Structure 1
Amino acid sequence: MANSKQARKRARQAENRRVLKSSQRSMVRTYIKRVVKAIGTGDHAKAMEEFKAMQPVVDRIADKDVLSKKKAARLKSRLNKRIKALAA
């Protein structure tokens, strides 16, 4: 356990940050699952709609360093590739 006042504050801040980030990470996963589910049904229009809803959320979370920017880009790229394969 932290002994100094400064260390106790840092522990509090770290805990608050952990709770917030886990909530945000969960939200991103939900958006991703919606896109994957739409791709699974084979409905291109629905998949594009869900993808367009997911994109700004993933970007915003990546800007906050909850996800790395590279991971966000990789997720978007892979999902977009799967959606394009539906259209073909």
Structure 2
Amino acid sequence: MANHKSAEKRDRQAKMRRLRNRMNKSAMKTAVRQVEEAIAAGSEEQAKAALQAAIPVIYKTSTKGSIHKKNASRKVSRLTKRVNKMQPLA
């Protein structure tokens, strides 16, 4: 328990940041899960649409500071690679 006024404020700020980070990460995980479900279902069009919806959510999460910028880039890269691998070779 905080004993000083400044420590109480820091505790309040930490709680709000923790909730905000949890909200952002949860939205990102949901978007990623939708892409993975479309890949598992084998629906190429649905996977592409889900990926296009997930990319801004992932980058927004990194912009807000909930995850690192390179972590976001890695997630987008790996998802994109998996969606592209679904396409039949021309």
User: Under a length normalisation based on structure 2, what TM-score does the superposition of the two structures give?
Assistant: 0.94
1:68 is matched by which residue type in structure 2?
A: H
Tell me the residue number matched to 2:85: 85
**Residue 5, structure 1, aligned to residue 5, structure 2:** yes
Moved over 3 A (4+): none
Q: Quick one: distance in 2 between partners of 1:48 and 1:67?
A: 23
1:48-78: CA deviation from partner (whole Å, max 9, x where unpaired) = 0000000111111101110111111111101
Aligned-partner Cα distance in 2 for 1:36–1:11? 37
How many pairs align? 88
Paired with 1:21 and 1:73, the residues of 2 have a C-alpha distance of: 18
Q: TM-score, normalised by structure 1?
A: 0.96
Once residues 48 and 15 of structure 1 are traced to their aligned partners in structure 2, the CA distance between those partners, rounded to angstroms, is: 36
1:1-88 alignment, distance < 5 Å: 1-88=1-88
Residue identity opposite 1:6 in structure 2? S
In the aligned structure 2, how far is the partner of 1:24 from the partner of 1:59?
Answer: 11
Task: Return the alpha-carbon distance in structure 2 between the equivalents of residues 65 and 87 of structure 1.
Answer: 34
Cα drift, residue 82 of structure 1: 0.6
Structural RMSD (CA) = 0.7
- The 3-state SS of whatever aligns with 2:65 is coil
Q: Which runs of 5 or more structure 1 residues have no equivalent in the other structure?
A: none
Identity %: 36
